[in-house]
Structure 1
Amino acid sequence: MKSSKSLAGLASLSGLVYSTEAGRMCPACRQALTACVCGKPSLPKGDGIVRVSRETKGRAGKGVTLVKGVPLDEAELMALGKTLKTACGSGGTVKDGMIEIQGDHRERVIELLKKQGRWTVKQAGG
């Protein structure tokens, strides 16, 4: 026999998960997933300066160029990362709001970002 406390706990877990009108529903805000705003990340907040640096930590001595502080959403950041990687002729990735480009391409990346004229670009580190 279940106690009233455990039944009350189970009742709090229930909620609308799917609606025939809107499809899947967000359990937090109870809106359709397409209209949900609670789970969407906002643009990274910063001081408005894009910083370009070189880092070797955790990469077995291999250097990468990091671009941090670009105020773009994920899709635009991916497109900018692809453009920079192509211009540098190198591989890389976009993760955690940063663009990583394999190798030391700081000067070229700074030049390309300044040409766009959208942000203040500075070299960080040595």
Structure 2
Amino acid sequence: MDLQDQLKNLFPEHITEEPENTSDTEKGLWIQDDPLLCKYEKRKGKPITIIDGYTGASEDFKLLAKELKTTLSVGGSFKDDKIIIQGDYRDKIMTILKDKGFLVKRVGG
């Protein structure tokens, strides 16, 4: 007799709910009307890509940052409501974000 059966015997009127099998990436991110800005800069001589302009919850933006970093296999960070990706990956990032349903605007060179 496992733990679930013991609990059913102790509390027969309790209704158990099955947990949904959705991961954090399957949860829908809030898609905004304004486009995200994809910028290219050089800091200390090294190229970086900055994604800015998200108006939703910062937790969703952090999840998006983590997904972009793992998809591209690069480093980066999330600071001041901006995603900073190491390297010039504007084209790849823009296609990934467009596939997710975001509007993306390329800013700078």
TM-score by length of 2: 0.67
Higher-Rg member (1/2): 1
Partner in structure 2 of residue 110 of structure 1: 94
Following TM superposition, by how much is the alpha carbon of 1:70 offset from its aligned partner in structure 2, in angstroms?
Answer: 1.6
Q: Cα deviation per residue 1:39-97 (whole Å; 9 max; x = unaligned)?
A: xxxxxxxx8111111111xx211111000112221211110000011111100000111
Partner in structure 1 of residue 67 of structure 2: 83
Which of 101, 105, 108 aligns to 1:122? It is: 105
Give the match's secondary structure for 1:63.
strand
Structure 1 gaps, min length 5: 1-46
Partner in structure 2 of residue 68 of structure 1: 52
Q: Cα deviation per residue 1:16-59 (whole Å; 9 max; x = unaligned)?
A: xxxxxxxxxxxxxxxxxxxxxxxxxxxxxxx8111111111xx2
Q: What is the one-letter code of the residue matched to 1:49?
A: P
Distance 2:75 2:56 in 1: 21
Give the percent of matched residue pairs that are identical in Structure 1 and Structure 2.
Answer: 38
Partner in structure 2 of residue 101 of structure 1: 85
Structure 2 gaps, min length 5: 1-32
Give the aligned CA root-mean-square deviation in angstroms.
1.6
Partner in structure 2 of residue 55 of structure 1: 41
TM-score by length of 1: 0.58
Aligned residues: 78
Stretches of 4+ aligned residues off by more than 4 angstroms: none
Distance 1:96 1:60 in 2: 19
Q: Identify which of structures 1 and 2 has the higher relative contact order when contacts are C-alpha pairs closer than 8 Å and 6+ apart.
A: 2
